[in-house]
Amino acid sequence: TQTQETTTTQETTTTQTQETTTTQETTTTQTQETTTTSGSVSSPSQALEPELSLATPDATLKVWMVNEDGETAAVIKNGSSIPVNIQSVALTEIDGELFVKIATSGIPNYVSVIDEKTETFLSERPLASRDFREGRPLVGVGSRVQFGEDIGYNSTGCQNLPGTGYGYWPPGPVCPENQEIETTFAIYPTETIENNSETQGLGSIGLWVNGVAVFGWGDGQSWQQEGNWHNIAAIAEEYDLDICPGHSAQGTYHHHSHPICLAEQLGDIGDSHSPVYGFAIDGVPIAGPWVDSGLLARSSWLPRDYSNDDSVTGCGEIGKRTCHLIDQLNPSAGTVEINASAPSTSDVVTSMSGNNFVALSGFYMEDWYYESSLNDNSLQSLDEHNGHFGELPGYTDPLYHYHITRERNDDGSFFEVFPYYIGPTFYGEIKTVLGNGPPGAGQQGPPPGVGQQSAPPGGGRPDLPAVAQALGVDVTDLMNALGPPPPDLQSAAIALNVPLEELQILMGPPR
- Residue 345: count of CB within 10 angstroms of its CB: 22
Once rounded to an integer, what is the mean pLDDT over residues 122-150?
97
pLDDT (0 to 100) of residue 246: 97
At 392 the pLDDT is: 96
pLDDT 10s digits, 376-407: 999 999 999 999 999 999 999 999 999 999 99
Task: Give φ, ψ of 145 to 5 degrees.
Answer: -120, 125
Please check whether residue 52 lies inside any domain of the structure.
no
Angle at which helices 475-482 and 489-496 pack, to 10 degrees? Answer: 140
Is it the case that residue 50 has pLDDT exceeding 80?
Answer: no
Model confidence band, residue 31 (pLDDT cutoffs 50, 70, 90): very low
Check pLDDT > 70 for residue 85. yes
For range 80-102, the mean pLDDT: 94
pLDDT at 169: 97
Of all residues in the chain, the percent with pLDDT exceeding 70 is 80
What average pLDDT does the structure give for the chain? 83
Beta strands at 252-255 and 218-222: parallel, antiparallel or unpaired: unpaired
Give which of 72, 5, 66 is closest to 38, Cα–Cα: 66
439 located within any domain: no
Confidence of residue 465 (pLDDT cuts 50, 70, 90): low
Instruction: Report yes or no on 478 lying in a domain.
Output: yes
State the pLDDT at residue 507.
79
Confidence of residue 53 (pLDDT cuts 50, 70, 90): low
Lowest mean pLDDT among 48-52, 292-296, 352-356, 493-497: 48-52
Asked if residue 502 lies in contact with residue 352, where contact means CB atoms within 8 angstroms, the answer is no
**Rg, C-alpha atoms of the chain:** 22
Number of structural domains, the chain? Answer: 1
Closest CA to 3 of 34, 33, 35, 30: 30
CB half-sphere exposure, 129, CA atoms < 13 A:
0
pLDDT of the residue at 114: 97
pLDDT reported for residue 152 = 98
pLDDT category, 48, cuts 50, 70, 90?
A: very low
- C-alpha to C-alpha distance for 139 and 168, rounded to whole angstroms: 11
pLDDT above 90 for 46? no
Highest mean pLDDT among 94-103, 134-143, 335-344, 488-497: 134-143
The verdict on residue 457 lying in a domain is no
- Which pLDDT score, from 0 to 100, does residue 383 have? 97
pLDDT of res. 54: 78
Q: What is the pLDDT of residue 385?
A: 96
Residue 361 lies in a domain: no
For residues 477-502, give the mean pLDDT: 76
Confidence of residue 463 (pLDDT cuts 50, 70, 90): low
pLDDT greater than 70 at residue 433: no
Q: pLDDT tens for residues 232-256?
A: 999 999 999 999 999 999 899 999 9
Q: Is residue 343 in some structural domain? A: no
Please state which of the ranges 16-30, 101-115, 203-217 shows the lowest mean pLDDT.
Answer: 16-30
Q: What is the pLDDT of residue 486?
A: 56
Torsion of CA 416, 210, 165, 231, to 10 degrees: 30
Alpha-carbon gap, residue 191 to 174, rounded angstroms? 36
Please give the pLDDT value at position 432.
62
Residue 498 lies in a domain: yes
Q: With 80 as the cut, is the pLDDT of residue 98 above it?
A: yes
Average pLDDT over residues 74-92: 95
Residue 407 lies in a domain: no
Tell me what pLDDT residue 229 has: 95
Find the domain containing 475 and state its range. Answer: 464-507
